């Protein structure tokens, strides 16, 4: 029998004697690759962050300081006056209660639109993916084609439809419009996600006796948190940022935040209050920003889950 | 086909299924006896899984009728057919514990709670998954998952079990283990079971009868030994058996009052062969399994001839020896101890009684 101790000692000696490379390859921090990679990343980050920096800095300055014209210099006297004014007292048309009115309008538009559109689209996607009814493909194609028709074409007909129904200018009308226009992309999203789920799962549930709603609520829903997060983010940011539908389908007292922001920034009379404008813009953009920060990780995971399985 | 079954558990009558212009199953008939274990065997794309899905009610059929326990279930929903199904990918609900997976169907059907608990306890005991009941499927191994999947069919107290390649996702060792367990389960429950597989070992070991399928048509429906020994056509002969059956191309000739098979300089007298009806002279294919041929074992065989070894394939328990016979490849299975060397001169002997003769054109048994 071979002596185990001497065998391992021999291996040890061989390892020490070896002149060639061994173990992990050394990495140089300042290699050309790293400089190039991080250099590009930093330049891109600065490019996108600089405007935000200018906005924040300007919004914290008083008007005299702004008139000096050094837009990159940090504020000498920090003031929150512009933020308060933008939120509470800035005038748009007849109303002088700032963006607050628009903010609550936007909330009242976004929340029901998001819930309604996602609820309908997820059922749509589920039906298209799992219950292959006759004409499902045709229906799907029509829905997708709908996504490519420019909104401008549909604006006026929808105005007439809403007027005839009697909900033109109300928040309800806008909620319905948002829900309908979210349908193609959301249905596509959900359909692809549900298609990527193993079909045998669906079959097993059918053998177990679950019906259309049973399978949707008890099997599919609990498995699709990632895609719901993606849909919520898409819809919240999309509807919150919408300007076109907001300006067309609402009246001044029901304007969403974006329309109000435009009215503040683009008002022609008086001095241009850059600091108030900047503060108002940041306030308006805050909601999508917060949504991204909170759900960023889930968002990426959801997109990736769809991508890998789809 | 086998004799009529008086009271079939599952009866499929003239079933056809078309996807558009593609015909997947063609006027298929199949009667499964009460408590029988039927295996649907065939290469991928032969329609065996499709047939199973039709029986389960997961696919709408184009024509024909399906009876389960004497009840016409052709238009019934899967849940109303009295079937339980086990899938290849287990298809466990990932967000539910094992217990919830097992009870899902019962909860949907509104079975009382204590009844559910009783059935789960029984299934868990039979399948030995009691310690796993509170785990999620993701925390189980493949074999455990498949056990749970079988349990899900078990708790539903059904008449017919349908298995759709249940062992294909498992490694070889687990597959062999679970195969035995399924066989034991069948002995214990005595339910009717219909089992789809492409694995001939599973088919041979499990089945009371095997239905070999190809192109949406059942080629042969018989006991495993019959299918193995007397395949009805060349497809069945080639599909079953590993290593595969030897096929020699040649002619069937009549000389005197006997028949013989002639290929090149080889002449095999068929005195002991049982013909399926009246043979006719003409081109034919002679098939014999490698394990029915003997090497260097004297001249006591009804037919023997000399040949040279070309290649030797050792397979552990035995060895496959490849030769040339009548300018065609021919394999012989021998025990490891009797393995010849490459280029050895050997004698090949066999009894034509164990062979199968096929029509050269349509491949059916002569």
**pLDDT tens-digit series, residues B117-156:** 999 999 999 998 999 999 999 889 888 999 999 999 999 8
pLDDT at B52: 94
Band (pLDDT 50/70/90 cuts) for residue A308 is very low
Cross-chain residue pair B109–A207, CB shorter than 8 Å: no
Using the CB atoms, write b or e for B249-271: b if 16+ within 10 Å. Answer: ebebbeeeeebbbbbeebebebe
- Mean pLDDT (chain A) is 86
pLDDT at B101: 93
Band (pLDDT 50/70/90 cuts) for residue A304 is low
pLDDT at B1: 43
CA dihedral B219, B220, B224, B230 (to 10 degrees): -100
Distance of residue B156 Cα from the nearest chain A Cα, in angstroms: 8
Band (pLDDT 50/70/90 cuts) for residue B202 is very high
Cross-chain residue pair B104–A208, CB shorter than 8 Å: yes
A-chain residues within 8 Å CB-CB of B93? 201, 204-205, 219
The class level of CATH for B246-359 reads mainly beta
Number of Cβ pairs closer than 8 Å across A and B?
A: 59
A-chain residues within 8 Å CB-CB of B19? none
Distance of residue B226 Cα from the nearest chain A Cα, in angstroms: 34
Helix (H) or strand (E) holding A187, with range, is helix A171-196
For the ranges A24-28, A115-119, B129-133, B298-302, the one whose mean pLDDT is highest: A115-119
**pLDDT reading at A269 higher than 90:** no
- B111 contact partners, CB below 8 Å, separation of at least 6: B119
Please give the span between the terminal C-alpha atoms of chain A, in angstroms, as a whole number: 57
| Interface membership of B111 toward A (CB under 8 Å) | no
Cross-chain residue pair B85–A218, CB shorter than 8 Å: no
Q: Could you report the per-residue pLDDT of A127-167, keeping only the tens digit for each?
A: 999 988 888 889 888 888 887 888 888 899 999 999 999 98
Whether A49 contacts A265, CB under 8 Å: no
Band (pLDDT 50/70/90 cuts) for residue B277 is confident
Q: Could you report the per-residue pLDDT of B178-200, keeping only the tens digit for each?
A: 999 999 999 998 999 999 999 99
| Interface membership of B133 toward A (CB under 8 Å) | no
Cross-chain residue pair A207–B58, CB shorter than 8 Å: yes
Q: Which of B106, B95, B115 is nearest to B152 (CA)?
A: B106
Using the CB atoms, write b or e for A195-233: b if 16+ within 10 Å. Answer: eebeebbbbbbbbbbbeeebbbebbbeeebebbbbbbbb
pLDDT at B2: 45
Domains of chain B, residue spans: 8-232, 246-359
Nearest residue of B to residue A211, measured between CA atoms? B108
Locate A76 and state its tokens: 């000498």
Whole-number percent of chain B with pLDDT over 70 = 98
Average pLDDT over every residue of B99-108: 93
Q: Could you report the per-residue pLDDT of A174-225, keeping only the tens digit for each?
A: 999 999 999 998 998 999 899 988 889 999 999 999 999 999 999 999 888 8
Residue A195 within a domain: yes
Cross-chain residue pair A207–B79, CB shorter than 8 Å: yes
Average pLDDT over every residue of A231-258: 90
pLDDT at A1: 46
Identify the bridge partners of residue B358 per DSSP, sorted by sequence position: B285, B365
Best B104, B157, B159 member to test A by mutation, with max A CBs in 10 Å, is B104
Residues of A with CB under 8 A from a CB of B: 198, 200-201, 203-210, 214, 218-219, 222-223
Cross-chain residue pair A204–B156, CB shorter than 8 Å: no
| Interface membership of B104 toward A (CB under 8 Å) | yes
Whether B286 contacts B268, CB under 8 Å: yes
Residue A277 within a domain: no
pLDDT at A156: 92
Longest CA span, chain A: 101
Cross-chain residue pair B91–A198, CB shorter than 8 Å: yes
**pLDDT reading at A7 higher than 60:** no
A-chain residues within 8 Å CB-CB of B91? 198, 200-201, 203-204
CATH code for residues B8-232:
3.40.50.300
| Interface membership of B58 toward A (CB under 8 Å) | yes
Burial of A86: CB neighbours in 10 Å, binned 0-12, 13-18, 19+: buried
Residue span of the structural domain in which A158 resides: 113-254+288-309
State the total domains in chain A. Answer: 1
pLDDT at B107: 93
Band (pLDDT 50/70/90 cuts) for residue A15 is low
Nearest residue of A to residue B149, measured between CA atoms? A204
Residue A281 within a domain: no
**Cα→Cα distances B365→A203, A257, B24, Å:** 40, 83, 25
Residue A189 within a domain: yes
Cross-chain residue pair A208–B95, CB shorter than 8 Å: no
| Interface membership of B103 toward A (CB under 8 Å) | no
| Interface membership of B108 toward A (CB under 8 Å) | yes
B-chain residues within 8 Å CB-CB of A201? 91, 93
Window 60-79 of B, Cβ < 8 Å to A: 77-79
**Measured distance CA(A217)–CA(A72) in Å, rounded:** 54
Cross-chain residue pair A205–B104, CB shorter than 8 Å: yes
Residue A262 within a domain: no
pLDDT at A10: 58
pLDDT at A307: 42
Distance of residue A217 Cα from the nearest chain B Cα, in angstroms: 12
The lowest-confidence range among A294-308, B37-51, B67-81 is A294-308
The ipTM of this complex is 0.84
């Amino acid at each position: 029998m071979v002596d185990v101790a001497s065998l391992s000692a021999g291996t040890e000696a061989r390892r020490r004697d070896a002149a060639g490379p061994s173990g992990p390859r050394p990495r140089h921090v300042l290699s050309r690759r790293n400089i190039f990679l991080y250099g590009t990343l930093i330049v891109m980050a600065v490019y996108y962050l600089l405007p935000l920096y200018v906005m924040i800095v300007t919004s914290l300055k008083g008007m005299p300081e702004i008139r000096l014209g050094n837009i990159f210099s940090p504020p000498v006297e920090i003031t929150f006056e512009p933020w308060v004014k933008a939120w509470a007292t800035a005038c748009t048309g007849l109303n002088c209660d700032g963006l607050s009115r628009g903010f609550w309008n936007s909330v009242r538009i976004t929340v029901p639109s998001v819930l309604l559109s996602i609820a309908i689209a997820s059922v749509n996607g589920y039906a298209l993916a799992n219950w292959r009814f006759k004409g499902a493909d045709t229906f799907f194609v029509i829905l997708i084609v709908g996504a490519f028709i420019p909104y401008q074409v549909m604006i006026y007909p929808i105005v007439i439809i809403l007027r005839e129904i009697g909900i033109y200018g109300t928040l309800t009308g806008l909620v319905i419009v948002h829900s309908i226009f979210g349908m193609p992309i959301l249905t596509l999203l959900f359909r692809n996600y549900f298609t990527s789920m193993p079909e045998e799962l669906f079959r097993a549930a059918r053998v177990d006796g679950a019906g259309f709603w049973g399978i949707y609520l008890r099997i599919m829903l609990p498995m699709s948190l990632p895609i719901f997060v993606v849909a919520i983010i898409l819809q919240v940011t999309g509807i919150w940022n919408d300007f076109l539908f907001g300006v067309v389908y609402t009246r001044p007292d029901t304007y969403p935040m974006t329309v109000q922001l435009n009215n503040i920034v683009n008002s022609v009379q008086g001095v241009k209050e850059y600091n108030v404008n900047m503060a108002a813009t940041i306030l308006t953009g805050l909601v999508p920003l917060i949504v991204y920060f909170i759900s960023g990780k889930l968002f990426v995971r959801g997109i990736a889950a769809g991508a890998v399985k789809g | 086909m086998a004799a009529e079954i008086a009271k079939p558990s599952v009866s499929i009558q003239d079933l056809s299924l078309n996807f558009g212009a593609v015909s997947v199953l063609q006027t298929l008939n199949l009667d499964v006896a009460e408590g029988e274990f039927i295996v649907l065997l065939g290469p991928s794309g032969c329609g065996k899984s499709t047939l199973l899905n039709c029986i389960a009610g997961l696919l709408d059929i184009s024509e024909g009728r399906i009876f389960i326990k004497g009840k016409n279930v052709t238009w019934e929903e899967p849940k109303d057919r009295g079937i339980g199904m086990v899938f290849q990918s287990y298809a466990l609900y990932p967000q539910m514990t094992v217990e919830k997976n097992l009870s899902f169907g019962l909860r949907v059907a509104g079975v009382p709670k204590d009844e559910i608990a009783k059935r789960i306890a029984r299934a868990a005991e039979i399948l030995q998954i009691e310690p796993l009941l509170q785990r999620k499927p993701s925390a189980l191994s493949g074999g455990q998952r498949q056990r749970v999947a079988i349990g899900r069919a078990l708790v539903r107290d059904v008449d017919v079990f349908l298995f759709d390649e249940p062992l294909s996702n498992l490694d070889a060792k687990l597959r062999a283990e679970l195969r035995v367990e399924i066989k034991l389960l069948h002995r214990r429950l005595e339910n009717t079971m219909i089992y789809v597989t492409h694995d001939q070992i599973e088919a041979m070991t499990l089945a009371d009868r095997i239905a070999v399928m190809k192109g949406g048509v059942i080629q042969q429906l018989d006991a495993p030994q019959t299918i193995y020994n007397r395949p009805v056509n060349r497809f069945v002969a080639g599909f079953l058996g590993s290593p595969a059956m030897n096929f020699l191309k040649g002619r069937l000739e009549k000389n005197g009052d006997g028949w013989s098979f002639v290929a090149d300089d080889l002449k095999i007298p068929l005195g002991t062969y049982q013909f399926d009806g009246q043979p006719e002279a003409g081109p034919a294919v002679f098939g014999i399994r490698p394990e029915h041929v003997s090497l260097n074992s004297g001249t006591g065989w009804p037919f023997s001839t000399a040949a040279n070894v070309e290649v030797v394939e050792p397979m552990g328990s035995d060895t496959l020896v490849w030769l040339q016979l009548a300018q065609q490849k021919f394999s012989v299975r021998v025990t490891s101890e009797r393995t010849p060397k490459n280029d050895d001169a050997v004698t090949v002997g066999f009894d034509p009684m164990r062979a199968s003769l096929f029509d050269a054109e349509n491949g059916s048994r002569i």
